[in-house]
Structure 1
Amino acid sequence: MQFIQQYGLIILLAVLLVFMFWSSRRRQQRQKAEQEAKAKQTLPGAEVMLQGGLYGTIVEYDAENLDQPAIVEIAPGVDIKVHSQAILRVVTPTEAPGAHEAIDDESVADAPHVETPEETAERLKGENDSDQK
């Protein structure tokens, strides 16, 4: 009992110190994993949101050298250079080359039909013609 009275506070402080180091290291590992995932998604063609709230499409990005500016297209023909850390998040990631799976004939046959713009125009024209009669 006398041991706890003398060394209890020191033991408690040591346990808290170990817990702080452990949780800090765990948070750093999680942030590093998130950064690596973001770097994998940040490829040319990916839509991103910048720190200032601008949305754009990545034109050029060097994941290895983060000191190089990224080039982001914010409008057709309007490219801006931003610091690579100004990319807040990837909105619509693109697949890395070779990352997509092979498509077999059965999955294509089972896929629902998506109407093309030309088919939509023809259908609407036919509906308008029948309404006028």
Structure 2
Amino acid sequence: MDFASFFANYGLIILLVALLVFMFWSSRRRMAKQKAEQEAKARQTVPGAEVLLQGGLYGTIVEYDPDNLDRPAVVEIAPGVDIKVHSQAILRVVDPVAGAVTGDEYVESEAEAVENTDAIDDDDTDSKPKA
């Protein structure tokens, strides 16, 4: 059996298998890329970030819960004008807040601030202000 007859008998099957493998690999790669983009969007969607809504409105995030996407996000579209929108109506973050912290980072910093305040209060109890 030479190469030409082998390819004539099994070439189409090999080609179909290669095509299926490529489609599977391509699909997995695209899904991983979309997941990474969603995670990046979730990290940037913090209070104070400017966002574009699907309706074409620009606003600033006031309240957003990335853990519960069924809960509406509160977006300020003008000074003093807050609207509630579905959290998935946020199309993209236009202007990520420089130095913005995530919820977990905020909780950690608050805990450290409380610990530092307690340490300072313990040191200041012995000294009294002089008038």
Q: TM-score by structure 1 length?
A: 0.71
Aligned Cα RMSD in Å? 1.5
Indicate the residue corresponding to 2:43 in structure 1.
40
For 2:85 and 2:74, the matched residues in 1 are separated by 6
Gaps of at least 5 residues in structure 1 are: 99-133
2:100 maps to 1:96? yes
Superposed, 1:105-124 pairs within 5 Å as none
Q: Deviations over 1:58-92 (max 9, x none)?
A: 00001111111111011111111111111111111
SS of the counterpart of 1:28? Answer: helix
Q: Aligned residues, how many?
A: 99
Q: TM-score by structure 2 length?
A: 0.72
Q: Deviations over 1:21-58 (max 9, x none)?
A: 10011000000000100110000000100011100000
Superposed, 1:9-20 pairs within 5 Å as 9-20=12-23
SS of the counterpart of 2:70? Answer: coil
Which aligned segments of 4 or more residues in structure 1 are displaced greater than 6 angstroms? none
Aligned partner of 2:10 among 4, 7, 31: 7
Superposed, 1:75-90 pairs within 5 Å as 75-90=78-93
2:57 maps to 1:60? no
Q: CA deviation at 1:3?
A: 1.4
